[in-house]
Amino acid sequence: MWTPNPQALVTDLGNELVVLHAESGEMFSLNASGRAAWLALPTQLEGVVAALVAQGAPPEAAHTDALAWLSEMEAEGLVSSS
Protein backbone atom coordinates (compact mmCIF):
# COMPACT_ATOMS: atom_id res chain seq x y z
CA MET A 1 0.00 0.00 0.00
CA TRP A 2 1.37 3.39 -1.01
CA THR A 3 0.48 6.27 1.30
CA PRO A 4 1.25 9.99 1.27
CA ASN A 5 3.46 11.48 3.95
CA PRO A 6 1.02 12.90 6.53
CA GLN A 7 3.28 15.93 6.92
CA ALA A 8 2.98 16.84 3.23
CA LEU A 9 0.92 19.98 2.74
CA VAL A 10 -1.13 19.84 -0.46
CA THR A 11 -2.78 22.59 -2.51
CA ASP A 12 -5.00 21.43 -5.35
CA LEU A 13 -5.07 23.97 -8.19
CA GLY A 14 -7.42 21.93 -10.37
CA ASN A 15 -5.05 21.04 -13.19
CA GLU A 16 -1.98 20.65 -11.00
CA LEU A 17 -1.12 19.92 -7.39
CA VAL A 18 1.45 21.69 -5.26
CA VAL A 19 2.97 19.60 -2.48
CA LEU A 20 5.10 21.12 0.28
CA HIS A 21 7.35 18.75 2.17
CA ALA A 22 6.94 20.30 5.61
CA GLU A 23 10.14 18.85 7.05
CA SER A 24 12.49 19.98 4.28
CA GLY A 25 10.58 23.04 3.07
CA GLU A 26 10.84 21.80 -0.54
CA MET A 27 7.88 22.42 -2.83
CA PHE A 28 6.86 20.16 -5.71
CA SER A 29 4.48 20.94 -8.55
CA LEU A 30 2.68 17.90 -9.97
CA ASN A 31 1.16 18.05 -13.45
CA ALA A 32 -2.27 16.61 -14.25
CA SER A 33 -0.96 13.02 -14.29
CA GLY A 34 0.96 13.50 -11.06
CA ARG A 35 -2.12 15.11 -9.53
CA ALA A 36 -4.26 12.11 -10.51
CA ALA A 37 -1.68 9.71 -9.09
CA TRP A 38 -1.47 11.66 -5.82
CA LEU A 39 -5.24 11.82 -5.45
CA ALA A 40 -5.40 8.03 -5.88
CA LEU A 41 -3.35 7.60 -2.67
CA PRO A 42 -3.52 5.64 -0.45
CA THR A 43 -3.61 2.73 -2.85
CA GLN A 44 -1.75 -0.22 -4.25
CA LEU A 45 0.39 0.20 -7.37
CA GLU A 46 -2.60 -0.78 -9.50
CA GLY A 47 -4.53 2.26 -8.24
CA VAL A 48 -1.81 4.62 -9.45
CA VAL A 49 -1.66 2.78 -12.79
CA ALA A 50 -5.44 3.17 -13.17
CA ALA A 51 -5.19 6.89 -12.37
CA LEU A 52 -2.57 7.35 -15.08
CA VAL A 53 -4.60 5.39 -17.63
CA ALA A 54 -7.61 7.58 -16.79
CA GLN A 55 -5.42 10.59 -17.65
CA GLY A 56 -4.69 9.12 -21.08
CA ALA A 57 -1.48 7.19 -20.50
CA PRO A 58 -1.22 4.06 -22.66
CA PRO A 59 -1.84 1.02 -20.44
CA GLU A 60 1.49 -0.55 -21.42
CA ALA A 61 3.39 2.58 -20.32
CA ALA A 62 1.28 3.41 -17.25
CA HIS A 63 2.79 0.63 -15.12
CA THR A 64 6.35 1.77 -15.82
CA ASP A 65 5.39 5.42 -15.32
CA ALA A 66 3.62 4.63 -12.04
CA LEU A 67 6.66 2.80 -10.70
CA ALA A 68 8.95 5.67 -11.70
CA TRP A 69 6.63 8.28 -10.15
CA LEU A 70 6.28 6.35 -6.89
CA SER A 71 10.04 5.81 -6.73
CA GLU A 72 10.69 9.53 -7.22
CA MET A 73 8.06 10.55 -4.66
CA GLU A 74 9.45 8.02 -2.18
CA ALA A 75 13.00 9.33 -2.68
CA GLU A 76 11.70 12.84 -1.89
CA GLY A 77 9.98 11.55 1.27
CA LEU A 78 6.50 12.36 0.01
CA VAL A 79 5.12 8.79 -0.11
CA SER A 80 5.95 5.48 1.49
CA SER A 81 4.99 1.87 0.92
CA SER A 82 4.00 -0.64 3.52
Domains in the chain: boundaries: 2-81
**What is the reported pTM?**
0.93
Q: Lowest mean pLDDT of 22-26, 28-32, 39-43, 69-73, name the range.
A: 22-26
Per the prediction, the chain carries an average pLDDT of 96
- Mean pLDDT along residues 8-12: 96
pLDDT at 73: 97
d(CA 80, CA 5): 7
- Mean pLDDT along residues 15-44: 95
Q: What is the DSSP string of 24-79?
A: T--EEEE-HHHHHHHHH-SB-HHHHHHHHHHTT--HHHHHHHHHHHHHHHHHTTSE
| Confidence grade of residue 30 (pLDDT, cut at 50, 70, 90) | very high
- Architecture of the domain whose range is 2-81: Alpha-Beta Complex (3.90)
- Mean pLDDT along residues 30-57: 97
